[in-house]
Structure 1
Amino acid sequence: MHPRARVAGYVTAAVLVAVGTFWATGGLGPADAPVRTGPGREIDQHLFRTRLAGAHVTTIKKFGKSTRMLVINAWVTNPTRETQGTYGINNDVFAHGMFLHWRTEDGPRPEQIDAQAIAGDTLFRSLQPRLPTYVAVQYQLAAGTRVPDHVTVALADYEHTESGVLDPRGYWEWKARRDETAYETNPLTHKSGRVTHIIPVLVADVTLPVKR
């Protein structure tokens, strides 16, 4: 993790969830309003060039149990010279720069659980340099969740720092609108500490029709 995302005591994916929830529940100020658009337009996130194609609801079976999923479909190009990820614990993977707006009246917020690149029958979690790749970002739906006919997804902006402490090639991070510090407890280790959240700049709000 880069310096502005360090945690006194712990670093977990819960930080990412908290930031995503902040943006999706109205933490954005009017001066920072992103471009509003529909499906098909390429959005330059600098680390990714993203064209959101649509969304659909599906049911999958895992370990004999049926689970409803909301899937956001995207074509993603990695313009850098290095392989990037679609999903993981760091901010610089594709899925963590995507925030789902959600209304409380539609039930429990969908939980982002994976983002898989798809090529034929092959599933993987990497984006090769300059190769447009189809990515399916998966959100698990709770029993009481109602998915509306349209959903809106916010996309974060990224910036590159030329020199990193551990990697002389530098690193990518969210372009920060501001930082916020809070005292939080890790739900896994139950340890508490001060956590600095990066609140990212958003480049676009994309509204997508949802197929059933």
Structure 2
Amino acid sequence: MHPRARVAGCAAAAVLIIVGALWATGGLDPADTPARVAPGKEVDQHLFRTKLVGAQVTTIKKFGQTTRILVINAWVTNPTRETQGTYALDDNVFAHGMFLHWKTQDGPRPKPVDAQGIAGDTLFRALQPRLPTYVAVQYELASGTRVPDHVTVALADYQYTESGVLDPRGYWSWRARGYETRFETNPLTHKSGQVTHIIPVLVANVTLPVTVKR
């Protein structure tokens, strides 16, 4: 959930980084309320065309331990001419434009950990241009987390910006509804400073029934 990072440097730290954090529920003006969309209906995010089709809770073995995972299933089409990713820590990828509505009484918020394209027995993290791809977005569940019978997923809108003559490639980022500035420490450089996050425009809310795989 991190649109492309651009840093304006200073002696102490980065001043501006366009990144994402998990969207906090509430605080939307009525005009900003995303449309309610049925499961399986396509949502145009501009960078992605997305059909959310289901959700399930399953368990996987990770480092010898059993971990509960919430999986959101989607059909995703990349309408651009360039390959896009499904998941990464610092890139503009599909999973970063998905946000779970979450109630505190259900326990710790699920942690996004991966998003994989699936074709037969092949797993990958690339969305080829104009090729509909089945994607499973994974969220790790804490031991105290209770998953409700239905989960609502919000999808962000994107916009393309031309970079200029010296860098004709341009870039995609969330379309901004607003901005939030916080004092943070960069985990890679360990430098601290004011960081401004995009608050994205949300184009759709999709409520999915949750099944439990034994």
**Does the TM-score normalized on the shorter chain lie above 0.5?**
yes
Q: Structure 1 length normalisation: TM-score? A: 0.89
Residue 181 of structure 1 deviates from its aligned partner by 1.5
Deviation at 1:63, TM superposition (A): 1.9
TM-score (norm 2): 0.88
2:76 equivalent to 1:57 = no
Contact 1:91 1:174 in 2 (8 A): no
Identity of aligned residues (%): 75
> Which amino acid is the alignment partner of residue 38 of structure 2?
G
Mean Cα deviation higher: 103-112 or 161-170? 161-170
* In the alignment, structure 1 residue 180 sits paired with structure 2 residue 180: yes
CA distance in 2: counterparts of 1:100 and 1:158, whole angstroms:
18
Displacement of 1:6: 5.4
Tell me by how many angstroms 1:24 deviates: 3.5
Q: 1:152, 1:24 → 2: CA distance?
A: 13
Residue 61 and residue 169 in structure 1: after superposition, are their counterparts in 2 closer, same or farther (change >3 A)?
same
Q: What amino acid does structure 1 have at the position aligned with 2:185?
A: T
Report the counterpart of residue 82 of structure 2 in structure 1. 82
Deviation at 1:7, TM superposition (A): 7.3
- 1:176 alignment partner AA: A
Q: Aligned partners of 2:8 and 2:114: how far apart in 1?
A: 24
- Once the two structures are TM-superposed, the CA of residue 29 in structure 1 deviates from its matched residue by 2.3
Comparing 27-36 and 154-163, the one that deviates more: 27-36
Contact 2:86–2:125 (Cα < 8 Å) also in 1: yes
Structure 1 residue 25 and structure 2 residue 25: aligned? Answer: yes
Tell me which protein shows more helix as a share of its residues: 1
Question: 1:1-212 alignment to 2 at 5 Å?
Answer: 1=4, 3=6, 9-10=13-14, 15-16=19-20, 19-20=21-22, 23-90=23-90, 92-163=92-163, 167-186=167-186, 190-212=190-212
User: Displacement, 1:10?
Assistant: 4.9
Once the two structures are superposed, residues 121-154 of structure 1 have per-residue CA deviations (whole angstroms, 9 ceiling, x without a partner) of: 0101000000000000000000000000000000
5+ unaligned residues in a row in structure 2: which ranges?
none
| Kept after mapping to 1: 8 A contact 2:106/2:146 | yes
* Long gaps (5+) in structure 1: none
Q: CA RMSD in A?
A: 2.3
Shift of residue 169, structure 1, vs aligned partner: 1.8
Give aligned pairs, total. Answer: 206
Give the match's secondary structure for 2:108. coil
Distance in 2 (alpha carbons) for counterparts of 1:91 and 1:64: 30
Question: Which amino acid in structure 1 is aligned with residue 60 of structure 2?
Answer: I
Runs of 4+ aligned residues of structure 1 deviating over 4 Å after TM superposition are 5-8, 187-190
Deviations 1:84-109 (A, max 9, x none): 00011245200000001100000000
Q: Note if contact 2:79-2:129 (Cα within 8 Å) is conserved in structure 1.
A: yes
Q: Which moved more, 1:139-148 or 1:183-192?
A: 183-192
CA offset at residue 166 of structure 1? 6.8
